Structure 1
Amino acid sequence: MTGPTEPTALHCDQFLPHPPATVWHALTDPDLHARWWAAGDVRPVLGHRFTLDMGPWGEQPCEVTAVDPERLLAYSFAPGTLDTTITWRLEPEGTGTRLFLTQEGFDLNSPFGKAAFDGMGDGWPHVLDRLAALLAQLAV
């Protein structure tokens, strides 16, 4: 019998009191994206390649792997080093949106993968808080 395996994916969700179109815009507009997470030419176009400026961790390459406007955006994140996929899923909830975030594919057997998993596990809730704060500013 084997023991429980450690998960290799991070999951977060947050209710945002804004319609999916507004949340989608913040996820896919490069200028807004830079204000709540990282600068980069993110665009909701399948196959689009871009980089995200992760500050001390440098420019990280990404490629859009799935798009369903106002519902789903997924992209590879740091292929060749971290090799994860980030997926944003939006579900209408009342007058707002439930935003689900998954980052998966971490190699927990590598020190870099384990450090990234631990760091982003702590970091994603703060990133989502910054997104919520930006959306609140834009709504005023």
Structure 2
Amino acid sequence: MTNPETLSVVVERDMPFPPERIWRALTQPHLIAEWLMTNDFSPVVGHAFKLSGDWGAVDCQVRSVEPNRSLVYSWAAYGLDSIVTWTLTPSAAGTHLRMEQSGFAPDQQQFYQGAQASWPGFIATLEQVVARLENSH
């Protein structure tokens, strides 16, 4: 159930890589640590994991896994309860990546603006990690 009052941050990007390669960077803990935060992630529905940064930690739980297609997990920190959804769609140029973080309440502008400011940078770094994977055959 989604609350119509909540806000979402959406970042979309076309990457010249196959979905399988981007999926690796979204689901392998040592790669996630390179573009997002240190973690104990596992792509298993129900798996609880933490993302840890200099500022603190995010409590997460895997909600849905469709290998090379979509990944959904909860993202809870400091009173924010949100959902992060990654969608990978094959395209002529490679893959269309869509990230949506939903569930920001109207009184959570600080979290919302922080997410708007930080996700594009995380995803730019993700693309660099994926590019390096492609070159390491």
Check whether TM > 0.5: yes
- For residues 17-32 of structure 1, the aligned pairs below 5 Å read 17-32=16-31
CA distance in 2: counterparts of 1:51 and 1:139, whole angstroms: 27
> Helix, strand or coil for the counterpart of 1:26?
helix
More strand per residue: 2
Q: CA-to-partner distance for each residue in 1:102-128, whole Å, 9 max, x for gaps?
A: 00001122xxx2111001101111111
Give the Å deviation of 1:6: 7.4
Opposite residue 34 of structure 1, the aligned amino acid is A
Is residue 110 of structure 2 the alignment partner of residue 115 of structure 1? yes
Greater relative CO, 1 or 2 (CA 8 Å, sep 6+): 2
Count of matched residue pairs: 132
Aligned alpha-carbon RMSD (Å): 1.7
**Greater C-alpha Rg:** 1
Q: Which runs of 5+ in 2 are unaligned?
A: none
The verdict on how the C-alpha distance between 1:83 and 1:133 changes in structure 2, with shifts beyond 3 A counting, is same
- Bigger CA drift: 23-32 or 71-80? 71-80
CA distance in 2: counterparts of 1:83 and 1:10, whole angstroms: 14
CA distance in 2: counterparts of 1:125 and 1:48, whole angstroms: 26
Q: CA-to-partner distance for each residue in 1:28-85, whole Å, 9 max, x for gaps?
A: 00000000111101221100100001321x1111000111111010000016721000
Displacement over 4 Å in runs of 4+: none
Q: Which runs of 5+ in 1 are unaligned?
A: none
> Helix, strand or coil for the counterpart of 2:23?
helix
TM-score (norm. length: structure 2): 0.90
Within the candidate set 67, 75, 78, 1:77 is matched to 75
Query: 2:70–2:86: 8 Å Cα contact kept in structure 1?
Result: yes
